Amino acid sequence: MSTTPTQPTADTEDTTPGPLAWFRTLSRNGRRAFIGAFGGYGLDSYDYWILPLSLVAISSFFGISKGQAGLLNTATLVLSALGGAAAGVLADRVGRVRTLLITVITYAVFTVLCGFATSYEMLLVCRGLQGLGFGGEWAAGAILVAEYSKPQYRGRAVAFIQSAWAVGWGLAVVVYTVVFSLAGPDFAWRVMFWTGALPAVLVLYVRRTVQDAPGTAEQRRQSGDKGSFRAIFTHGLGRTTFFAAMLATGVQGGYYTLATWLPTYLKTERGLSVINTTGYYAFLISGAFIGYVCGGFITDRLGRKKTFALFAVLSAVLIMLYTQIPVGANTAVLFLGFPLGFCASAIFSGFGSFLAELYPTAVRGTGQGFTYNFGRAVGALFPAGVGFMAESMGVGGAMVFGAAAYGVAVLALLGLPETLGRELT
C-alpha cells in the first residue's frame, strides 16, 4: 500500500488569513469539486427530509402505526449503509466523481418513485432503495473535497459541505409549507416526493466540470488494495475501523432520532399546525447551519476528538430538555431549537476530515463509506425503537432514548487517535 504523502492540490499559499482562507487556497478544480459536493449533499438532505415532514400525512393516508412509520426511516437508513459501503468501494475503484454521479441519480429516481406508491409496502421498498443513493453521496463528496484541501483547513472545508444539509433541510421546509398549504394532505405528500427530481440539474454540472484530485487519483490507480473491505480490517486498520464505526453509530443514532420524530413531536404533542411549525424550524435550521460552519473551525482549532466529545454531551442534554418542556411552554421550545440545532449539527462537522485522515488514499473511500454508513444502519435502530416506545410513552418521552446514543459516541473516542494536522497519505 502506498505511503507517499499526497501533496496539497491548491495552487497558492494563503497570505491573508480569514474565515474563507480555506476556499481561497483551493485550486480552480477544487472549487468546482466543492460546488458539486455541496449541491449533492444539499439535495440529498432535501430528499431525505421529505419523509419526516410528510410523515403525519403518510401515516394517516395508509393508516399505519407509529412503529410502522418509524420503520420507513429505519429502512432508509439501513439500506443507506449498504449504499454507503458500496459507494466507498466504487470511489476507490472508479473514482470520486463517477461515484458522486451514480449516488445522486439513485436517490433522485427512487425519491420520485415514492410519490407513486399505492401501498405502505410499496413506499417502504421505494424509500429503502432511495437510501442506497442517500448513503453513498456523502462519502464520495466529502472525500473529494478533503483531497483537494490543505491539512490546516480540511476540517472547515468539509464542514461547509456538511452545512449543505441545513440548506437542503431549509428548502424542504419552505416547499413543504407551500405544498401543504395549497393541497390537501392526501395529495401533498406525493407532490413533495415528486419534487425530489431536482438533483437532475446538478448531475449535468458535475459531469461537465468536476474532476478527481490528480495526486490521489494516481495513488489510487497504482495501489493493489483499492476498494478492498479486507484492507480496512487488516494492515493495522481493524481497531480504527471498529471504533470509527462505533463513533458513527452513536452520533447518527442520536441525530436520526431527532430528525425522524421532531416533526411528529411538534404536531402531535406541541399542537402546532403546518404554518405554526415554520418558526420552530427556522430556529432549529438556523442553529444547524451555523453549527455546521462553526463546528469546522472548532475542529481545526480544538482537535477532532475534543470537538466530538463536547458536542455529544451538549446534544444529549439538549434533546432531554427540548422534549421534556411542560405543555404550554412553547416559547421555550421555540428558542431552545437554536442551540439544539447548533450542537446536533456541529458534531458532524469533523466527520469528513476525521475519517479521511484515519485511512490511506487507496482505501479512504472504503473506510469512510463503511464506517459512516455502518453507524447509520445501526443508529437507525434508535428511530424505530422510539417509534415503538412512543405507543406507550408518547413521542417526547421516547425521544429521550435517542440521547443515550451520544454516550456510545463518547466511549468510541477512547479507541481513536487525534488526527489534527495529519497529511493524507
Q: Name the residue ranges covered by the structural domains of the chain.
A: 25-415
d(CA 376, CA 355): 14
pLDDT tens, position by position, 152-209:
888 888 888 888 888 998 999 999 999 999 999 999 999 999 998 888 788 888 888 8
Can you give the pTM of this predicted structure? 0.74
**Which residues, including other chains, have CB under 8 Å from residue 291's CB and lie 6 or more apart?**
166, 341, 342, 343, 344, 345, 346, 349
pLDDT in tens, 36-70: 999 988 988 998 899 989 998 999 999 998 888 88
pLDDT of amino acid 274: 62
Q: Is the per-residue pLDDT at 7 higher than 70?
A: no
Q: What is the mean pLDDT of residues 21-32?
A: 87
Could you read off the pLDDT of 123-153 as tens digits, one per residue? 999 999 998 888 788 778 888 888 888 888 8
CA dihedral 250, 256, 262, 263 (to 10 degrees): 180
The rounded distance, in Å, linking the Cα atoms of 393 and 119 is 28
**pLDDT on residue 17:** 60
Model pLDDT for residues 222-263, shown as the tens digit of each residue = 665 566 788 899 878 999 999 999 999 999 988 888 877 777
Question: Is pLDDT at 12 greater than 60 in this prediction?
Answer: no
Nearest in space to 120 (alpha carbons), one of 48, 66, 72, 50: 72
CATH number belonging to the domain at 25-415, selected among 3.30.930.10, 2.40.50.1040, 1.10.357.10, 1.20.1250.20: 1.20.1250.20
